[in-house]
């Protein structure tokens, strides 16, 4: 199975900050890397697919980059509604695996 | 709009089985694979398996092999997840999610079904 490792596990940030979350895979997943946002009590929501493509309806302050084994999710100008947990996920092969999550909290 | 609606919460005793449904609407049911993902309380996301609604073929996570069954009913555009020999560790929120195709990704997700295993 491909292992996905996110860092940091949690972070504190202020409204307006720029936040970067990294995700590393144990082997190359090409660009088959997706990012999801999950708020408490809610299902995850797709933000970024294929490493850097913004899902329709997602604000442009979210962006993704990377390929192979190293990926980043960047949130520029953090907004109050962005405080949530973020997960990366590889869809290169089954089992599709997720990172452990990064919780973005209010400073 | 594309929507997945899941059945309601379940409480089961250890050793029992549970069957969760996921009804799809807003698209051609047989065009997209459906996956199941679970999340134990306070934990991360765990992929359980996938079903092709067109032919019914399935792929399951190795750790669940022998206990998990995914089926579909094309007449009602519904997929089902059955998990048997339940243990306390199976207590979790269970989500279905559509592989929206092209670059594979989960979109949308069902609202989740809480399964509680307790004696």
Instruction: Give the pLDDT score at A106.
Output: 87
Which distant-in-sequence residues (6+ apart) come within 8 Å of A56 by Cβ?
none
Query: By the CB < 8 Å criterion, does A68 face chain B?
Result: no
Q: How far apart are CA A18 and CA B3, in angstroms?
A: 33
Query: By the CB < 8 Å criterion, does A31 face chain B?
Result: yes
Instruction: Give the pLDDT score at B41.
Output: 97
Q: How far apart are CA A89 and CA A31, in angstroms?
A: 11
Instruction: Give the pLDDT score at B102.
Output: 85
Tell me the average pLDDT across A29-36: 97
With CA atoms as reference, the chain A residue closest to B44 would be A100
* C-beta atoms of A94 and B105 within 8 A: no
Statement: residue A107 has pLDDT above 90: no
pLDDT in tens, A88-105: 999 999 999 999 999 999
With CA atoms as reference, the chain B residue closest to A35 would be B105
Instruction: Give the pLDDT score at B113.
Output: 98
pLDDT in tens, B60-94: 999 999 999 999 999 999 999 999 999 999 999 99
Q: How far apart are CA B64 and CA B84, in angstroms?
A: 10
Q: How far apart are CA A62 and CA A74, in angstroms?
A: 6
Q: How far apart are CA A72 and CA A63, in angstroms?
A: 8
Query: By the CB < 8 Å criterion, does B103 face chain A?
Result: yes
pLDDT in tens, B13-61: 999 999 999 999 999 999 999 999 999 999 999 999 999 999 999 999 9
Pairing of strands B10-12, B113-117: parallel
User: Which among B44, B106, B108 has CB closest to A101?
Assistant: B44
Tell me the average pLDDT across A19-29: 98
């Amino acid at each position: 199975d491909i292992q996905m490792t996110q860092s940091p596990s949690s972070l504190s940030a202020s409204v307006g900050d720029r936040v970067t979350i990294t995700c590393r895979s144990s082997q190359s997943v090409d660009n088959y890397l997706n990012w999801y946002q999950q708020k408490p009590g809610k299902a995850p929501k797709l933000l970024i697919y294929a490493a850097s493509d913004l899902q329709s309806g997602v604000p442009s302050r979210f962006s993704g980059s990377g390929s192979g084994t190293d990926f980043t999710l960047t949130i520029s100008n953090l907004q109050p509604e962005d405080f949530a947990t973020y997960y990366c996920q590889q869809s290169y092969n089954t089992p599709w695996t997720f990172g452990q999550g990064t919780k973005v909290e209010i400073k | 709009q594309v929507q997945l609606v899941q059945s309601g919460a379940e409480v089961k005793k250890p050793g029992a089985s549970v069957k969760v449904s996921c009804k799809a609407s807003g698209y051609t049911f047989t065009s997209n694979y459906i996956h199941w993902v679970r999340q134990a309380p306070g934990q991360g996301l765990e992929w359980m398996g996938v079903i092709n609604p067109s032919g019914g073929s399935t792929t399951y996570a190795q750790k669940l092999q022998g206990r998990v069954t995914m089926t579909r009913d094309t007449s009602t555009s519904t997929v089902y997840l059955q998990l048997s020999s339940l243990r306390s560790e199976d207590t979790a929120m269970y989500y279905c999610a559509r592989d929206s195709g092209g670059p594979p990704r989960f979109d949308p997700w069902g609202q989740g079904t809480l399964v509680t295993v307790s004696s």
